[in-house]
């Protein structure tokens, strides 16, 4: 019966997928949180890495053959490190930190994905011969090089450019396992200068390229009173002199770099902050004039691109999951990430066939302090996430359900108090968690749903519950979904179970389904 339902739901999801608009791609190419992107091309295949900060696994690798339709294929690491902040233990967390802007390179048959992390104070280097299947070799070294760009020069020497405002360069060992002592120097004294201000946020997000013998360095800066701006510097030698100019100043689309196509076209890949959904990737056509890359169409970001149309983000970036696993299947598809390093003893997709079981192992005080929240991106312009859960084995004080994870989160779930259950909607819109509505629950199975609206930066969400999966009732109040720096990430759907009193209870989630709204 469950298999039949899966097939029917699959047909429904396909039926509500947005149809391709003409034969062209549209910006943003991904209406979801994929910030700090780095893209390489190997033959006719593109690979992209991105920032996922506190989430685990991390440093995602996505694949495309057309620069528009992307699919998750790997992560460079399962866990970045085991310090308290990454594990949500001893009162510490790393929301908004973890691994930041990655660099992605292919050199002499080896793929390199690098990042840096404040919780570890280190620069992390991951390498593999097979970017889609691994295995990945991990090394790290001090210090943590901020927003670095890994660069292999034609003479075989290896560098990282890093910093903010005053950009520096350092040479690495040939195996990219550490810094060569005494090689650090200033590359550009004030990389923000082309944007015309010494104030605001300084130039950072370095990405270094070499095209036709010249070096090109891309950065993002944010002049005070202005918008996020792409700045480009060029030089004939790494030792300079460097000259800079504004590369793009439109819609706040900035930070990224250059990519070419097999047929010789060039694009800049950049991202744009877009409220609660996060930071979205854009592609901008590039022409060359007098040795400079010229971004955009008459200096503007085009809405359409001479590239294939998008087929949608389902199932390449986000996907439904019935939690049915055949022999050889991974325990969790790549679309899933834990809110921090998980406690692997407290979850299972095998203890009850066709269900995700989340167990409690300690007492927590809130949704954001609890471990083992399983998350996926929300997507725009609108998206709906739903689940069915069996709460038979909750203990008193347990809380389980479906949330939208960010600092000012919202959620709907089932609480058990003195042997009595209730469906509860909680909003942290004020900065403090407030129980908005409580509905008594006598059943042991309940359906929950969250609807997100990111159209025109509406950034609102509503929550619903059902006892039969057919008739849905709104609960609580709509929440606003602002993008907050403490979490530094777009809102994510999250399945959660945590105890506030006695550990040992658990919840069985029958499925998670994500789809556009059926309008």
Give the CATH number of the domain where residue 35 resides: 2.115.10.20
Q: What are phi and psi of 277, to 5 degrees?
A: -75, -20
Higher pLDDT, 2 or 359: 359
Mark which of 305, 328, 345 sits at the end of a domain. Answer: 305
Q: Does residue 351 share a domain with residue 286?
A: no
What is the average pLDDT across 294-304?
98
Query: For residue 472, is pLDDT > 80?
Result: yes
Asked if residue 362 is part of any domain, the answer here is yes
How far apart CA 177 and CA 207 sit, in angstroms, is 20
| Mean pLDDT of the 294-322 span | 97
* 352 and 286 within one domain: no
Q: What is the pLDDT of residue 231?
A: 98
- Model pLDDT, residue 8: 42
Domain match, 394 and 496 both: yes
Partners of residue 162 on adjacent β-strands: 168
Domain of residue 434, CATH code? 2.60.120.200
What pLDDT sits at residue 107? 98
Distance between CA atoms of 268 and 285, rounded to whole angstroms? 6
CB distance 53 to 338 below 8 Å: no
Q: Is residue 329 part of a domain?
A: no
Q: What is the structure's pLDDT at 516?
A: 80
Longest dimension (CA), the chain: 75
How many contiguous H segments (helices) and E segments (strands) does the chain have?
2, 36
Nearest to 207 by CA among 151, 125, 266: 151
> Does 296 share its domain with 355?
no
pLDDT at 6: 46
**Would you say residue 16 has pLDDT above 90?**
no
d(CA 221, CA 219): 7
Which of 176, 189, 110, 175 is closest to 145 using CA atoms? 176
Is the same domain home to 289 and 372?
no
Average pLDDT on 296-304 reads 98
373: its two tokens: 């929240």
Whole-number Å distance between alpha carbons of 148 and 123: 9
Buried residues in 488-511 as b, exposed as e (16+ CB within 10 A): bbbbbbbbbbbbbeebebbbbbbb
- Domain of 159 in residue numbering reads as 23-305
43 burial level (CB within 10 Å; 0-12, 13-18, 19+): exposed
List all residues 6 or more positions away from 328 whose beta carbon is below 8 Å from its beta carbon.
Answer: none
For residues 318-330, average pLDDT: 97
CA 480, CA 491: separation in Å to the nearest integer? 11
Cα(265)–Cα(174) distance, rounded to whole angstroms?
A: 32
CA angle, 197 as apex, 192 and 200 as ends, to 5°?
80
- 73 located within any domain: yes
Nearest Cα neighbor of 310 from 517, 70, 519, 35 is 70
Give the residue-averaged pLDDT of 243-264: 98
* pLDDT value of position 131: 98
356 sits in which H/E element: strand 356-359
Tens digit of each residue's pLDDT (9 = 90 or more) over 341-372: 999 999 999 999 999 999 999 999 999 999 99
Judgement on whether residues 288 and 357 belong to the same structural domain of the protein: no
Q: Is the pLDDT assigned to residue 17 strictly greater than 80?
A: no
User: Of the residues 305, 321, 349, which one is the last residue of a structural domain?
Assistant: 305
Domain annotation covers residue 410: yes
The answer to whether position 268 is within a domain reads yes
With tokens 């460097």, the residue in question is 242
In this predicted structure, which of 6-10, 122-126, 317-321 has the lowest mean pLDDT?
6-10
Q: What is the pLDDT of residues 140-185, one digit of tens each?
A: 999 999 999 999 999 999 999 999 999 999 999 999 999 999 999 9
Q: Could you tell me the pLDDT band of residue 225, with boundaries at 50, 70 and 90?
A: confident
Domain finish residue from 252, 282, 305: 305
Q: Are residues 232 and 106 in the same domain?
A: yes
CA dihedral 48, 149, 31, 342 (to 10 degrees): 80
User: Per the confidence metrics, is the pTM higher than 0.75?
Assistant: yes
* pLDDT tier at 21, thresholds 50, 70, 90: very low
Report if residue 482 sits inside a domain. yes
138 and 49 share one domain: yes
**In the structure, what pLDDT confidence band is assigned to residue 288 with cuts at 50, 70 and 90?**
very high
Q: Which residues pair with 217 in a beta bridge?
A: 208, 233
149-152: strand order across its sheet: 149-152, 158-164, 166-172, 185-188
409 and 294 both lie in a single domain: no
Q: Does 434 map to a domain?
A: yes
- Statement to judge: residues 55 and 194 lie in one domain: yes
pLDDT of residue 197: 62
Selection from 401, 496, 491, 490 nearest residue 446 by Cα:
401
Percent of the chain topping pLDDT 90: 93
- 279, 355: one domain: no
| CB neighbour burial string for 198-225, b if at least 16 within 10 angstroms, e if fewer | eebbbbbbbbbbeeeeebbbbbbbbbee
Query: Does position 519 have pLDDT exceeding 70, yes or no?
Result: no
Angle at 493 between CA 490 and CA 497, to 5 degrees: 130
**Edge-to-edge strand ranges of the sheet holding 137-141:** 103-107, 110-117, 122-128, 137-141
Average confidence score pLDDT of the chain: 94
Average pLDDT over residues 210-227: 95
Asked whether the predicted pLDDT for residue 116 surpasses 50, the reply is yes
Do 279 and 388 share a domain, yes or no?
Answer: no
Q: What is the mean pLDDT of residues 27-31?
A: 98
The predicted-structure confidence for 64-93, as pLDDT tens digits, reads as follows 999 999 999 999 999 999 999 999 999 999
Contacts of 184 (CB under 8 A, 6+ apart): 168, 169, 170
Number of structural domains (the chain) is 2
What are the structure tokens assigned to 192, written together? 């923000």
- Cα–Cα distance measured from residue 349 to residue 212, given in angstroms and rounded to the nearest whole number: 52
Say if 493 falls within a structural domain: yes
């Amino acid at each position: 019966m469950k298999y039949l339902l899966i097939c029917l739901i699959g047909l429904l999801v396909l039926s509500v997928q947005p149809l391709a608009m003409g034969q062209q791609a549209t910006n943003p190419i991904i209406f979801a949180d994929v910030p700090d992107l780095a893209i390489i091309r190997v033959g006719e295949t593109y690979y992209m890495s991105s920032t996922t900060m506190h989430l685990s696994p991390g440093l995602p690798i996505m694949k495309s053959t057309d620069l528009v339709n992307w699919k998750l294929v790997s992560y460079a690491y399962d866990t970045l490190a085991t310090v308290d902040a990454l594990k949500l233990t001893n009162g510490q967390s790393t929301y908004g930190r973890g691994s930041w802007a990655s660099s992605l390179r292919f050199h002499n048959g080896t793929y390199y994905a690098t990042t840096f992390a404040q919780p570890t104070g280190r620069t992390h280097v991951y390498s593999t011969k097979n970017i889609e299947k691994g295995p990945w070799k991990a090394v790290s070294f001090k210090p943590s090089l901020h927003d670095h760009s890994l660069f292999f020069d034609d003479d075989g020497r290896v560098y990282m450019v890093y910093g903010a405002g005053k950009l520096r360069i350092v040479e690495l060992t040939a195996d990219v396992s550490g810094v060569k002592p005494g090689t650090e120097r200033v590359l550009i004294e004030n990389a923000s200068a082309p944007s015309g201000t010494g104030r605001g946020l300084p130039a950072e997000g370095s990405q270094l390229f070499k095209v036709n013998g010249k070096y090109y360095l891309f950065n993002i800066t944010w002049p005070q009173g202005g918008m996020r701006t792409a700045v480009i510097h060029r030089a004939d030698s790494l030792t300079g002199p460097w000259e800079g100019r504004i590369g793009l100043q439109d819609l706040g689309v900035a930070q990224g770099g250059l990519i070419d196509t097999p047929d010789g076209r060039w694009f800049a890949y950049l991202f744009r902050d877009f409220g609660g959904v996060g930071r979205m990737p854009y592609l901008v056509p590039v022409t060359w004039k007098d040795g400079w890359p010229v971004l955009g169409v008459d200096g503007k970001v085009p809405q359409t691109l001479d590239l294939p149309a998008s087929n949608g983000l389902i199932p390449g970036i986000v996907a439904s999951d019935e939690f049915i696993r055949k022999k050889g299947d991974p325990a969790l598809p790549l679309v899933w990430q834990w809110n921090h390093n998980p406690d692997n003893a407290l979850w299972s997709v095998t203890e009850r066939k066709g269900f995700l079981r989340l167990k409690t192992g300690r007492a927590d005080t809130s949704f954001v302090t609890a471990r083992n929240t399983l998350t996926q991106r929300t997507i725009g312009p609108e998206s709906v996430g739903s689940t069915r859960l069996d709460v038979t084995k909750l203990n008193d004080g347990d809380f389980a359900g479906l949330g939208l994870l960010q600092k000012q989160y919202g959620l709907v779930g089932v609480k058990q108090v003195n042997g009595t259950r209730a469906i509860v909607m909680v909003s942290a819109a004020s900065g403090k968690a407030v129980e908005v509505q409580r509905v008594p629950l006598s059943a042991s199975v309940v359906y929950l749903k969250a609807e997100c609206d990111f159209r025109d930066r509406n950034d609102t969400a509503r929550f619903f519950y059902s006892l039969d999966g057919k008739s849905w009732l709104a609960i609580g109040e709509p929440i606003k979904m602002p993008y907050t720096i403490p979490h530094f990430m777009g809102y994510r759907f999250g399945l959660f179970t945590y105890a506030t009193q006695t550990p040992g209870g658990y919840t069985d989630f029958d499925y998670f389904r994500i789809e556009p709204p059926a309008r």
